[in-house]
Structure 1
Amino acid sequence: MDTVAKQEELKIPIFKNRNFVLLLISALFSSPGYFVYLIGAEWLMLNITDNRFYFGLLFFVAAIPRLILLVVGGLIADRVNKRTILFWSDFSRAVLIGILVILILTDLVAIWHLLVLSGLFGISDAFSYPAMNSLIPTLLKDDQLQRGNSFIQMTSQISPILGPALGGTLIALLGFAGVFSVAFGMLLIASIAVIFIRVKLEKQEEEKHTPLTDLKEGFHYARKNELVISVVVMALFLNLFFSGPIAIGMPVIVKDVFAGSAVSLATIQTSMGIGALAGAILLASWKLKKPGKVVISSLISLGIVFSTVGLSANVWMMAGLVALMAVLTQIINIPIITMLQQSTDKKMLGRMMSMFMTVSTGLTPVSYIITSSLIALGVSIQWIIVVCGIIITLIAVYNIRNKKILEYQLV
């Protein structure tokens, strides 16, 4: 009883937790900075070439190194100070964007520059994702995780609001050099904020394992965790039919179907951010005990709304549907991440988060290349989205009997 009492005394409220607040501040600059860069890169690619296959490659070349290196990123996150990983991730992105600014100012920027930059960003993602998601449980208690994840998502999801709005405005006012200069500054600030996080490093066991041994241990641990397997299998197929059509579809529909501008694309992406922020706020105040039913029902709704997005008549209709879709995505993602964090040994968090991301997004590059190839062959992106939305709904309905998800109880 004394031990329990002492543990309760040590539990610090989220906003009095200095380390967690610094992590929030870092995410507040890092994520919007990335989205400012992203809308600039998307619109720059659309202006450099009329071949939409290259636009699809922009996402594909980022997804491949991210997928290949995520497991490595998880291994390193369990061995190295996670704060250090996050610092180098944001700082390296800032440097890369700085190089792009120089190329634009010297009028040397070409398609291959954007593709190489996208690939390097994918490498950075492979290390930052497991570091971030395994760092949060070391800063918070188990019963604070859903709220903490919601605030991190809330901070991150300000990015699709501020990022596209700021990016689209800067493209119109200052051109591409201006938009990328702002992205450079934001990522630099994010990297500085991370430096001040102080995390006590756990003492390593006397027996040092090789990376290969650690990897095998991670796979063995994952195989015994039936919840991880259930979530990963479902996410694997969902990403095939969602990631490519939504990422490639929004800019292509805005430019080719609605004949819109960078501001129109910013409107769509900002609405996505508003919806995601609303979903995160909702889950910050609504603690789910049995999140499974909510997750599955939200998946069914997501598929229906996604299909409707493909039938949008104008930018404003599409913006409203995308906002609703973003709310549903948060109601799905935050509980799932919290479930995985709570049910995983802290020593295995980096590996589990990276393995989850690796396997669940394994078909994402395939989704990008299939979507861009279908568009290049003349298939309407709107019909691609409609069909994919129907398939997502069917996958969700199939998982109604998935007891591992439905019966899980959050702490």
Structure 2
Amino acid sequence: MDAVVKQDQLKVPVFKNRNFILLLVSALFSSPGYYVYLIGAEWLMLSINDNRFYFGMLFFAASVPRLLLLTTGGLIADRFNKRTILFCSDFSRAILIAILLSFIWMDSITAVHLIILAACFGISDAFSYPAMNSLTPVLLEDEQLQRGNSFMQMTTQISPILGPALGGTLIALLGFKGVFTVALVMLLLASVAVLFIRLKEDKKDAERPSPWEDFKEGWNYARKNELVVSIVVMAFFLNFFFSGPLTIGIPIMVKDVFHGDAVNLATVQTSLGIGALIGAIVLATIKLKKPGFIMIGGLIALGVIYTITGFSIHIYLTAVLVALMTFTTQFVNIPLITMLQQTTDKHMLGRMMSFLMTVSTGFVPVSFVVTSVLIAIGISIQTIIIVSGIIITLIAIYNMRNKKILGFKFE
């Protein structure tokens, strides 16, 4: 278990907490670096292969190892130094991009190479996600969590602004070699920044139960937490109808429907980050008294906007709509994470974060496959998005009856 080296921590404001600032700095390099890589990999796949099924497999390959290993990542986050885990994650991603660059320099890159590298990125994600989210409440006090989570969301949501904008520009100016080189450097800087976070091992953790006992403890803890169960069940189905169609759909709409280029894709993906950033800023300045109502209301708005996006006939209208979507997702994600953190014992946070991610995203790989297959058999991506948006709206309305979520109040 990690324990922060405390310097009268109760009196340290969020922005004077050295460890938390270093975590923010690391996220400011890591997340944009990942998005620079991602837009480069997406456009490279669309450029070297006309079969859109392979494009869907790019996301499927990343999601499967992420899903299978998240529980392991949570166990490791609770048993080992979270700073070391984050360093290994960012550094390994930099190595993977270096391998990709070597294939590009040799002019031997194929769709199979991109899919394999995407799977390796998924493995890294499985360990970084629970470590990052369980480290935040270790560095901050309970009353600082909503604000701290909002600032963490801001740094990660700047990523879809800076990352695609920088990535699209670099593709246009320097080609794929330039975009992947910048991504590599950013991930290296992130891995260095996280090393300066001061953590020490808790001496009481000398005698630990086995990993299997840790897993059973985490499972039983989650199963008895009615709030966690309610959130996970809802997210399980929502992610199926949202993740695949949106993630695969935006690049395909830009390339095949709007006949755009890498800069156009960067414009739409940047709007995703702008909307999310504005939402995070709003939530950083207000205190939610009934987060459950806000979360369900945000889901309803998300479903409606998502449906309208399927009818869009212009690339800039699509950019506005996806910005509105990510704005509303912040009113779902930030209350959800804070609710989970406040109701979970700190020594269980890594396992609870990985459990939430594992179970709630269990259908995501299937979503990628189903979306890819539907596109391959001739169903338009717009139709898939419209139907998915309607279903999300109906699921959100149904959860207006969920008293466990609606009745939650922040401390």
Name the TM-score, length of structure 1 as normaliser. Answer: 0.97
1:46 aligned partner: 46
In structure 2, do the counterparts of structure 1 residues 83 and 8 end up closer, same or farther at CA, with 3 Å as the change threshold?
closer
Contact 1:168 1:263 in 2 (8 A): yes
Which stretches of structure 1, 4 residues or more, deviate above 2 A after TM superposition?
6-11, 200-208
Tell me, in whole angstroms, the C-alpha distance in 2 between the residues paired with 1:45 and 1:66: 21
Contact 2:77 2:85 in 1 (8 A): yes
1:138 aligned partner: 138
1:92 aligns with 2:79: no
In structure 2, do the counterparts of structure 1 residues 106 and 343 end up closer, same or farther at CA, with 3 Å as the change threshold?
same
1:114 aligned partner: 114
354-363 or 284-293: bigger deviation: 284-293
Contact 1:36 1:167 in 2 (8 A): yes
2:159 aligned partner: 159
Please tell me the residue identity of whatever aligns with 2:382: Q
1:3 aligned partner: none
Structure 1 residue 99, shift from structure 2 partner: 1.1
Please tell me the residue identity of whatever aligns with 2:105: L
Structure 1 residue 106, shift from structure 2 partner: 1.1
Contact 2:164 2:266 in 1 (8 A): yes
1:254 aligns with 2:258: no
Please tell me the residue identity of whatever aligns with 1:44: L
Tell me, in whole angstroms, the C-alpha distance in 2 between the residues paired with 1:206 and 1:39: 44
Please tell me the residue identity of whatever aligns with 2:139: L
2:66 aligned partner: 66
Please tell me the residue identity of whatever aligns with 2:356: F
Q: How large is the Cα RMSD of the aligned pairs?
A: 1.2
Point out where structure 2 has 5 or more consecutive residues left out of the alignment: 1-5
1:181 aligned partner: 181
1:197 aligned partner: 197
Contact 1:11 1:141 in 2 (8 A): no
Structure 1 residue 9, shift from structure 2 partner: 6.9
Please tell me the residue identity of whatever aligns with 2:76: I
1:386 aligned partner: 386
In structure 2, do the counterparts of structure 1 residues 318 and 96 end up closer, same or farther at CA, with 3 Å as the change threshold?
same
Tell me, in whole angstroms, the C-alpha distance in 2 between the residues paired with 1:354 and 1:125: 11
In structure 2, do the counterparts of structure 1 residues 279 and 10 end up closer, same or farther at CA, with 3 Å as the change threshold?
same
1:30 aligns with 2:9: no
Contact 1:71 1:354 in 2 (8 A): yes
State the secondary structure of the residue aligned to 1:313.
coil
Please tell me the residue identity of whatever aligns with 1:102: S
Identity of aligned residues (%): 68
Deviations 1:43-98 (A, max 9, x none): 00001100000000000000000000000000000000000000000000001101
Tell me, in whole angstroms, the C-alpha distance in 1 between the residues paired with 2:215 and 2:233: 20
Contact 2:29 2:187 in 1 (8 A): yes
Tell me, in whole angstroms, the C-alpha distance in 2 between the residues paired with 1:261 and 1:206: 56
Contact 2:150 2:284 in 1 (8 A): yes
Tell me, in whole angstroms, the C-alpha distance in 1 between the residues paired with 2:267 and 2:11: 41
Structure 1 residue 202, shift from structure 2 partner: 2.4
1:399 aligns with 2:381: no
1:289 aligned partner: 289
Structure 1 residue 11, shift from structure 2 partner: 3.4
State the secondary structure of the residue aligned to 1:288.
coil
1:222 aligns with 2:222: yes
1:336 aligns with 2:336: yes
Tell me, in whole angstroms, the C-alpha distance in 2 between the residues paired with 1:315 and 1:205: 54
Structure 1 residue 185, shift from structure 2 partner: 0.3
2:18 aligned partner: 18
315-324 or 201-210: bigger deviation: 201-210
Tell me, in whole angstroms, the C-alpha distance in 1 between the residues paired with 2:287 and 2:8: 19
2:3 aligned partner: none
Tell me, in whole angstroms, the C-alpha distance in 2 between the residues paired with 1:343 and 1:38: 34
1:268 aligned partner: 268
1:324 aligned partner: 324
State the secondary structure of the residue aligned to 1:200.
strand
Tell me, in whole angstroms, the C-alpha distance in 2 between the residues paired with 1:409 and 1:253: 41
385-394 or 197-206: bigger deviation: 197-206
Tell me, in whole angstroms, the C-alpha distance in 2 between the residues paired with 1:183 and 1:151: 23
State the secondary structure of the residue aligned to 1:204.
helix
In structure 2, do the counterparts of structure 1 residues 302 and 256 end up closer, same or farther at CA, with 3 Å as the change threshold?
same
Tell me, in whole angstroms, the C-alpha distance in 2 between the residues paired with 1:78 and 1:9: 22
Please tell me the residue identity of whatever aligns with 1:89: S
1:231 aligned partner: 231
In structure 2, do the counterparts of structure 1 residues 214 and 312 end up closer, same or farther at CA, with 3 Å as the change threshold?
same
State the secondary structure of the residue aligned to 1:78.
helix
In structure 2, do the counterparts of structure 1 residues 99 and 360 end up closer, same or farther at CA, with 3 Å as the change threshold?
same
Structure 1 residue 203, shift from structure 2 partner: 2.8
Structure 1 residue 111, shift from structure 2 partner: 1.1
Please tell me the residue identity of whatever aligns with 1:327: F
Please tell me the residue identity of whatever aligns with 1:331: F
Q: How many residues align?
A: 406
Structure 1 residue 287, shift from structure 2 partner: 1.2
Structure 1 residue 207, shift from structure 2 partner: 4.2
1:104 aligned partner: 104
Name the TM-score, length of structure 2 as normaliser. Answer: 0.97
Deviations 1:153-204 (A, max 9, x none): 1001111001001000000100001000000000000000000001233233
State the secondary structure of the residue aligned to 1:168.
helix
Contact 1:167 1:179 in 2 (8 A): yes
Tell me, in whole angstroms, the C-alpha distance in 1 between the residues paired with 2:199 and 2:397: 43
Please tell me the residue identity of whatever aligns with 1:400: M
Tell me, in whole angstroms, the C-alpha distance in 1 between the residues paired with 2:402 and 2:99: 48
Structure 1 residue 313, shift from structure 2 partner: 1.2
Structure 1 residue 289, shift from structure 2 partner: 1.6
